[in-house]
Homo-oligomer: A and B are copies of this chain.
Amino acid sequence: MTPAGSESAAAYARAVARFHRIAVLGEAAAMLGWDAAAMMPAGGAAARGEQFAVLAGLGHGLLTEPAVADDLAAAGAAAAADPWAAANLALMRHAQARAMALPADLVEAQARANAACETVWREARRAADFAAVRPLLETVVRLTREQADALAQALGLSPYDALMDGYQRGIGAADVAPIFDRYEAFLATALPAAEEHQARRPPPRPIPGPFPIPAQEALCRRLAERAGLDFAHARLDRSAHPFCGGTPADVRITTRYDEADFAKAVLAVLHETGHALYERGLPPAHARQPVGEAAGMAVHESQSLIVEMQACRTDAFLGWLGPELHAAFGGEAAWYEPANLARLWRRVERGFIRVDADELTYPAHVILRFRLEQALIGGDLAVADLPCAWNDGLRALLGLTPADDAQGCLQDIHWYDGGFGYFPSYTLGAMAAAQLMAAARRQTPGLDAALGQGDLSPLRAWLGTHVHAQGSRLGFSDLLRAATGKGLDVADFEAHLRARYLPS
């Protein structure tokens, strides 16, 4: 190696060591985040907010020390030899550029403001009292705009795109807006047609409870294991909203239980298991490096939805699942027949609440939020006007008017914890899931037959190779291209919805 080459290699090695430390700080924050949602007593919230703020500040400090820029500049020659190292270096430089754009006091101020707002929001939502949280949300929006403006300047993006980039690198509003416009047009005809088609078929037979929670919990655990989750590296707990947290070595999924309805818990666990399998399948050789992380939130959502929506709501899987449910909960065999489960779990219904929405109308909820958050960040919509704008938007998209803000703009945690630019990931993920499933089916004979045996392993193997093990080497579009032969193509999602919800 030339002296310059060995200097470059040393610089890259120092950068790798530094990003390892940054990733470990992120792991600590992730575990504390899980704890905050699943375990923490209410009185711990303020201290936890401070812990998040300090960890964020330290991570930011590690990224912005002057030595980092020098090392990242010098590391180019060493990293060029290996495509993973080259991709890693590019991601390091991107992360460093984002961090350098933000003053440390803004990073900590945001962490504190977001935690404070989220705490008040929990009570405000319960009380359907937007006014109670409004001043805190105004602070969060103000700081987020500061953040977005600073990032925009550094990255040469619009402020809103700079926020989106934080969740799914390389995807901006100009990529998403036409896709969402097309979906809005599709929905305008598909939704009435699906409703009409559904009305002509027999209604589902509700499955009467109660379903004891220990039985639900045991079943959820068994299904997650069956789907491939290794509980030597995972936990299943409860939280107000299901999520997947933790780290690749120790992934934490949660759900919530309703004695009257086991479906919510079961489907949420299948969803979170999809996320968890992605984390577990990330390339160990690149652990704690940017290139070893998940490829972004849209890709992450594709992995949860491909399990929950694409695989586990098929007739084939429901045919296997029915007898499992019957064994767990008893009652009449007819309740658990796949046709009845399909009518229950593939039911189209306009509603107020995003997380309860069916596959077809879910994107409408996302489109509403996508448009509103652009206006909030762009300064075209004041926080005070959010409730009205929300209700107008929902009326236009789904013909519904919320009775109060708990059914409207208070329902999601995202903005109240500073998460702007995240919502599009849900629908990009749904679309990518359909496209990945179509490709997996083409390339994997017997995939559906295996689902009929409750066996996700052929699907998991395909995802393991084409998605999980890729880490962040490829961005959203390149990952899809490598896995499916094309960039995001909404036609696959529309074809899936037509086949499932419209008359053939």
- Residues of A whose CB lies within 8 Å of any CB of B are 21, 24-25, 27-29, 31-32, 35, 39-44, 46-48, 50-51, 54-55, 57-58, 230-235, 246-250
Given known pairs A35-B31, A55-B28, the reply for A43 and B235 (CB within 8 Å) is no
Most buried by B among A29, A46, A50, A231: A50
Given contacts A32-B31, A35-B35, A39-B39, whether A24 and B44 have CB atoms under 8 Å apart is: no
B27 touches A51 (CB 8 A): yes
A and B contact pairs by CB, cutoff 8 A, 5 listed: A25-B55, A28-B29, A31-B51, A43-B250, A47-B247
Question: Closest approach, in angstroms, between the C-beta of A438 and any C-beta of chain B?
Answer: 34
**Interchain nearest-CB distance for A68 vs B (Å):** 15
B35 touches A51 (CB 8 A): no
- Residue pair B247, A43 in contact (C-beta under 8 Å): no
A250 touching B40 by the CB < 8 A rule?
yes
Within 8 Å CB of A248, what residues of B?
47
User: In the complex this chain forms, how many copies of it are found?
Assistant: 2
Known contacts A32-B31, A51-B24, A51-B28; decide if A41 and B247 are in contact (CB<8 Å): no
A25 touches B58 (CB 8 A): yes
Q: How far is the CA of A232 from the CA of B57 in the complex (A)?
A: 28
Residue pair B51, A231 in contact (C-beta under 8 Å): no
The docked-state distance in angstroms from the alpha carbon of A42 to that of B55 is 25
Which residues in B have their C-beta under 8 angstroms from that of A235? 39-41
Minimum CB–CB distance from A255 to chain B (whole Å) comes to: 16
Given the interface pairs A41-B233, A58-B58, the reply to whether A47 lies near B32 with Cβ below 8 Å is: no
- Shortest distance between the CB of A436 and any CB in chain B (Å): 27
Q: Which residues in B have their C-beta under 8 angstroms from that of A246? A: 44
Answer whether A25 and B47 are a contact pair too, CB < 8 Å, given A32-B31, A41-B231, A42-B232: no
Contact status of A233 and B51, CB under 8 A, knowing A28-B28, A31-B32, A31-B35? no
Chain B residues with CB under 8 A of A48: 250
Name the residue among A51, A230, A235 with the largest chain B CB count within 10 angstroms: A51
Distance, CA A232 to CA B45, complexed state (A): 10
> A54 and B25: CB pair below 8 A?
yes
Also in contact, A250 and B50, with CB within 8 A (given A25-B58, A32-B31, A39-B39): no
Complex contact A249–B25 (CB within 8 A)? no
A45 vs chain B, min Cβ distance (A)? 9
Contact at B24–A50, with CB atoms within 8 Å? yes
Shortest 6 CB-CB contacts between residues of A and residues of B: A44-B250, A43-B233, A47-B249, A43-B232, A24-B54, A28-B51
A82 to chain B, nearest CB (A): 24
Closest to A30 in B: B51
Separation of A248 and B58 alpha carbons in the complex (Å): 22
Contact partners of A250 in chain B: CB under 8 A: 40-41, 43-44, 47-48
Shortest beta-carbon distance, A502 to chain B, in Å? 44
Q: In the complex the two chains form, what is the Cα distance from A403 to B52 in whole Å?
A: 49
CB neighbours (8 Å) of A32 from chain B are: 28, 31-32
Give the nearest-CB partner of A42 in chain B.
B232
| Apart from A27-B51, A44-B246: 10 A-B pairs, beta carbons within 8 A | A21-B57, A28-B51, A31-B51, A32-B32, A41-B235, A41-B250, A43-B230, A43-B234, A43-B250, A58-B58
Contact B232 A46 (CB under 8 A): no
> Cα distance A443–B29 when bound, in Å?
46
Q: Taking each of A25, A27, A44, A48, which has the highest tally of chain B beta carbons within 10 Å of its own beta carbon? A: A44
- Return the chain B residue nearest A47 by Cβ: B249
Distance A432 CA – B51 CA, assembled complex (angstroms): 34
